[in-house]
Structures are given as structure tokens and as C-alpha cells.
Structure 1
């Protein structure tokens, strides 16, 4: 173990909120309070952007156990978050703030872009000979961080979408004569992990969802219309789940708001509109009545459908980040390592920040069917342990009334 590094700890939350990101914050606070070399614990107000422009720092050192308990079960990002890409000259300003407050431990909770920010600050500290232990704490409902089996936040978003699809499917089946086609638009920029989870409550072939479309496969209009028509003829109604990040064969988003105001600092356009677009395709080309649902940001930060497994693992990665930093580790992101495929068990590991910064993990080919309109049983085997307790045991048709 390296010599004890004395000083203050600063933690920030970045990117889209989740149902369990505050559990990671709890893990950091509670573990940090056990180590005498960590003198004060501060939180960034509104991530790196708040720190840079307003020097927002919230003292978290003496939070009561009752507040920590409530925080653990509070969704979204209690400290506030941001989608801010530091300019080259701003890194020095952030570095000066860290030195002014004797910050020696820096933890950033977020996804790939957040890990990029943490990595660059870590490099700057090393280059200036300033002892600073920087650790990334994974968080993304998109589940697209590489080198970790899965990311905290995903299990709860997956559970939300599984239950949403089950219940929307019950509505769709009941309304199959007046409204035969229903489309759910889910979140996901370049990957279909959230969308894929819609299948987790499906028990029989005729149950919803019937079709799933993810960005890992190009969206082809004629193929989509054929899929919908064939399913309608076979089942009598159709529930489609489509990712907001669907792209055509040329790689262009089929629906997105690309106005300058709606493009974030990392160059990402605001996604949305896929549900409406697909609904109009069905009505105009198949002459079948269709409507769409868009749960939007509710799916990323709903404590109502939280996965207990997700909560526990989110706390764990925060706790481990502190333990590793105190031991002397620096420049890593904590990862989750699946130890068994028989009975689910997960431990932690470490990945270098430079190896996860700004990178994405896509749905593997083995998780997508050959028709590119659904997911496979291998995906279900992967995802089911992450959503926690069993899904609701609903009746799905009057044939079950026996």
C-alpha cells in the first residue's frame, strides 16, 4: 500500500440521471468517512460545469445516517448533473480549484464521456506532479461502457421497460380491434440495450412485444412494414418496441432534432421522434390504425421499478472506488465482473480510464436475431439477473381464466 495521502475528497455526478446513481454516492460517502486521511467530503453541484463556473461544492462530511438512508432510495442525481465538455484551457481552471481546496481524491460518476473528463484531469495532475487519486464510478442506463459486464443504472431501466411493455401489451391486446398497432419508443443513442429489455416479461409467442428494433442493425422501411403486416395477420395486433437511435442504411438517424440548440457539448443531437415516424409509416402504407407511447426520461430514473440488484451494485462500485483510491490506485474505473452464469454472482474489478473514456459497448451479434427484429434467448439469460426480483405475474388473455 502506498503512503497515506491526506486531503479532501470531491465527487461529481455527470450525464443522464438514473434510479441508482445516488446509491453510488452513498457508497462513496460512507466508505470515505471510515478513513482518517480523507478530511472533508465535498460534492460538485451540477458536475464539472457547476464546479468550473460557480465553484459549487456541497459539504457532505457530516451527513446523518437517516439522510444517507433516504439518499440511497432517492432517484435522479441529488447533486445535479451536466453534459459539459471542458475546453482545453478550462482544465487548468478546474485544476486550480482542486488545488485551492486541497482535493486529493476525485470521483466522477458517469458514462463514457464522464470517464473522458476524469481521465484528462488525472493526466493533468500527473503532469503537474500533484498527488490526486482519480477514480471513475460507472453509471449509464445505456449499458454501453466497455470492460464491465454491465453498468449501474441499467438493471433498473431494463426492469422499467420490461414492466412498461408488459402493461402496454395488455392495453394493446385489449384494444386490438380499434387500435391494432402500438409502438413504444425507448431511450438509447447508439446502442439497443435499453430497448432489448422490453422482451424480459414475454412468456408466449403472442405476448408483447412482437417486434424489437435496435441501432446495431440498419433500419429498412420496407422490411419494417413487412414485419408489421405479417405479425398483424398472424397475431391480430402488434406491439413494436423501437430505439430512439435507429439509423438507416447510410448511418443517418431516422429521427432526431439536429438544431444547434439541441446538440450537446459532445456533439450528440437530441433524439426523439422515432415513435411518431414509425406510426405514420404504418398508417400511410398499411392503412392500419396505429399509435405510439414515449416514456421518455421516466425510464431512466424511476424508483418505482428499481432493481434491488442494481441498487446494491451501484452502492458497491462507489464503496470500492474509495477503497481502491485509499490503497493508492489512481486512474481507473471500477467494473462489475460476472463470476457465474449458473447462479448470478458479481464482484468488482478495475479498468484504466483511458480504455473506457469515450468508448461504447454494443449489443453483440449473438443477442440479436437473424431477422434483426428481435433479441435472442442469450440476451435474456444475460439480462434477467440484473432486473432483480421476478416481474409481475399478470394474466395475459381470457384463455387463462380457468
Structure 2
């Protein structure tokens, strides 16, 4: 029997993370949860005593429909790294004291790799103290780098936005009768799944991007420059997609080849930006062609106006599956997606041990990356089902309407 439950959101936002929140909320409510609490700003907010009763903020079916279409994290997020249990047991004791005061039976955390690390540590501590609280991870990341799952909710919508934007950027470059080069920097620290989505722009109505550079392959600046010089002779407009995390052979990020300010988050991740600008400046100075650097930056994370219906549906399903797993006694698990068929596309949910997921990273298989700076049809066919269909925004006064948390 599950009494009260609590759910939080962590890490970077997506266009569909709130659909997972709705999946947790509605399924827990339908299965008889007494109260459904929401952590404000993830586990960091919980430590500060910040939480709400979700039923006071999601009251109607319209609220649910709006929240499914609302981008970013409704409850707020955090990038807080729990210490190792052996280093700071008091943090865990404080969290579990709060959970006991709220009479929490199940704890759900929606997030990516770092968030699954939180589920791992909390579920491990629960075992140490013989706590009956169930801890379940709900996958979310546009980076698509969680292992053991076919893909992650959030990725499909980001991929749809990236492919659509690339088509528009390509059209824009063709309007002039003189050569132009555009380098588009796309998120992706160690995994190039997002940048690979730029390949979907190619079709009957679009010539596609000319080059794709993913962080899985060392970046050769000289080889890049030679290829640009060769293509310039035969094309009026060149569009290149690069991952923000591309590195040269010695391990330095491309943006580190020039002067830059360095910022490192709580998880030790460097803030990545500037590789496109570095390459654009190099082309302009060495070849003398107008070159533009574009960073999609946060735009690719929360473009709910172009969200994939498949993505929204699966985000909702993993939230519901998490509740089902907890109600059936599972803990220390993460909901995953298993692709059963490509044609027709069929995907189901399952659960995996969080210890097999947290702190591991799924990269683009090398066999899906070609020697001519592009990707294979296998990768395109993998991504394509994830961007299908749309959930029309609820428009008010010409703009998409969102559900806003008012405290």
C-alpha cells in the first residue's frame, strides 16, 4: 500500500519533462496515493524544506493538458551532487528525516545521468537503514546518453527542433549569390546524438548539412580546413553542424584552442561554448569567406511548440511506469524504453537496476559515423521514429499557453 509520494525534477530542462511529471502525478492519483508532493528545485530544494502539494496546483484536466505542453521544469531544477554516503552521512539522515515526516512511501526523480546517481545513493542508504521507501528514477535528457534504454524522453523533441532549424538555416544560406558558410554548434558534451539529428534535414526538399562533427571522433582542425576549402569551390552555401564537445587528438576541446573563460559545475562539467566561433573566425581569416557561427544553446532544450507527440507520449508513459514499479515493490530502479519494432515503431517500458545506469554514458556507436564526416542511414533510421507527429499547443492570443507554478 502506497500512502504519500514525492516527485522532483533535476538537471537540464526539456520540452517534455513535465509530461513525465504528469505521468507520475496522474498515475499515483489514480492508484490511490494519499498525497503527491513535488520537490521545488529537486533534492537541493528538499534539503531546504521546499516542497508543495501538487493537487493544489494541478486541479483540472485542462491543467494536465497544459502541463504536458509546458516546457522546462514545472517544479524547478537543480544540479546538486549528493556526497558519497561515507563522506557525509548527515545529508542522508536529513533527507530521510524529511521523508519520514511527510510519510513518504515512494520517491520519484525525473532526470538524466546525474539524477540517476541521486537515486542510486538514496536507494543504497535506504538499504543501510532498513527504510521501506521506494526510489525510482524517471529518465529525462535531451542528450540521449543514458545506457540501458533505447532512448530518453526529451531527445526526440530536441532532435525534431534541431532538424527543423537546420532546414531553415540551409534555406537562409541559399538566398545570396556569393559564398557563405554557417557553422551551427549543437549541445553534446561526450555524445553526439543531438548533432546527429541534423542529418535528418536532408530530403527531397533539402540538400542537408555538408558536414557533421561528433565528439566520439577526434577533431582534426587541418583536415577540417582543407575540406572546407575544397567544398567552397563547388558550393555557394555551406552549412556545418558540430557538437559543442568536439575535441582535438590531445583531449582539448576545440574552444580551448583560443582564450576562454572556464566555468565548472558541481559535477565537474566544464561549460562548453565557443567551438563554432573559433572555427568561423579561422575560416574568415584564412579563406576570406563570410562565415557565421550559430549556437542553438538553450533553444534546443525547450522548444515545446515543435515537440514530438511520440516524445510527449513516451515521457508520460515512463512517469506512469515508475509509479507502477514502486507500487509493485520495486526500488533502486530506473524506467527504460525498449524498442520492439522499427516498422511499425513500437516501444515499451521496462525497469533496470540503477547501478547499471548511473554514471555510465551511452555514445553514438562508431559504426554509425562515416569516414566522410557524416552519419549512416542506421542512425537516421534510429532517430526518425522519435520525431514523429505533433501535439498542437493550446494557443492564447496567438501564443502557446503554459502552466505556471504560482506560489
- TM-score scaled by length of structure 1: 0.91
Q: CA offsets, 1:156-209, max 9 Å, x none?
A: 0000000000000000111351x5111111111111100010110212698131
Distance 1:274 1:151 in 2: 26
1:149 aligns with 2:150: yes
2:59 aligned with 1:42: no
**Relative to 1, partners in 2 of residues 1:42 and 1:191: Cα closer, same or farther, differing over 3 Å?**
same
Q: Give secondary structure in 2 for the equivalent of 1:174.
A: coil
Give the Å deviation of 1:304: 1.4
Q: Which residue of 2 aligns with 1:363?
A: 364
Partner Cα separation in structure 2 for residue 144 and residue 105 of structure 1:
26
**CA pair 176-200 structure 1, distance change in 2 beyond 3 A:** farther
RMSD: 1.7
- The residue that corresponds to 1:51 in the other structure is 46
The Cα shift of 1:389 comes to 3.0
Counterpart residue number, 2:24: 28
C-alpha separation between the residues in 1 aligned to 2:204 and 2:371? 20
Q: 1:236 to 1:259 in 2, by over 3 A?
A: closer
Q: Which residue is equivalent to 1:321?
A: 322
Q: Secondary structure of the residue that 1:194 maps to in structure 2? A: helix
- Kept in 2, the 8 Å contact 1:192–1:362? The answer is yes
**Matched position secondary structure for 2:349:** strand
- Which residue in the other structure is 1:343 paired with? 344
* Alignment check: 8 A CA contact 1:258 1:270 kept: no
Q: 1:25 to 1:346 in 2, by over 3 A?
A: same
Counterpart-to-counterpart distance in 1, 2:246 and 2:165 = 20
Task: Note the alpha carbon deviations across 1:100-121, whole angstroms, 9 max, x for none.
Answer: 2111100000011100011100
Give the aligned partner of residue 163 of structure 2: 162
Alpha-carbon spacing, 1:258–1:285, altered in 2? closer, same or farther (3 Å): closer
Query: Measured at CA, do residues 163 and 96 of structure 1 come closer, stay the same or move farther in structure 2, by a change above 3 Å?
Result: same
Distance 1:204 1:217, change over 3 A: farther
Q: C-alpha deviations, 1:15-35, integer Å up to 9, x for none?
A: 000000000000000000022
Distance 2:342 2:62 in 1: 37
1:192-247 residue CA offsets vs partner (Å, 9 max, x unmatched): 10001011021269813111101000111011112212222222321001111111
1:105 and 2:101 equivalent?
Answer: no
Deviation at 1:375, TM superposition (A): 1.0
2-side partners of 1:176 and 1:191: how far apart? 36
Contact 1:206 1:235 in 2 (8 A): no
Equivalent-residue separation in structure 2 for 1:346 and 1:94 (angstroms):
35
Secondary structure of residue in 2 paired with 1:271: coil
Tell me, in whole angstroms, the C-alpha distance in 2 between the residues paired with 1:102 and 1:251: 48
Match of 2:237 in 1: 237
3-state SS of 1:203 partner = coil
Distance 2:94 2:388 in 1: 43
Alpha-carbon distance in 1 for matches of 2:96, 2:206: 57
Aligned partners of 2:356 and 2:335: how far apart in 1?
Answer: 12
The Cα of 1:7 is off from its aligned counterpart by: 2.7
Alpha-carbon offset, residue 61 of structure 1: 3.1
Give the counterpart of 1:60 among 24, 36, 54: 54
Contact persistence 1:169–1:239 (CA under 8 A): yes
* Distance (whole Å) between structure 2 residues aligned to residue 168 and residue 14 of structure 1: 32
Secondary structure, aligned partner of 2:240: strand
Return closer, same or farther for 1:203/1:119 CA change in 2, 3 Å cut-off: same
Number of equivalent positions = 381
Corresponding residue for residue 114 of structure 1: 115
What CA distance in whole angstroms lies between the structure 2 residues aligned with 1:176 and 1:268? Answer: 42
Stretch of structure 1 that moved more, 180-189 or 90-99: 90-99
Q: Which segments of 5 or more consecutive residues in structure 2 lack a partner in the other structure?
A: 391-407
Question: After superposition, what is the alpha-carbon deviation per residue over 1:33-89, rounded to whole angstroms, capped at 9, x for unaligned?
Answer: 0223x211001100111111x211111135322211211110110000011112342
User: How far is 1:258 from its partner?
Assistant: 7.6
User: In the alignment, does 2:73 pair up with 1:73?
Assistant: no
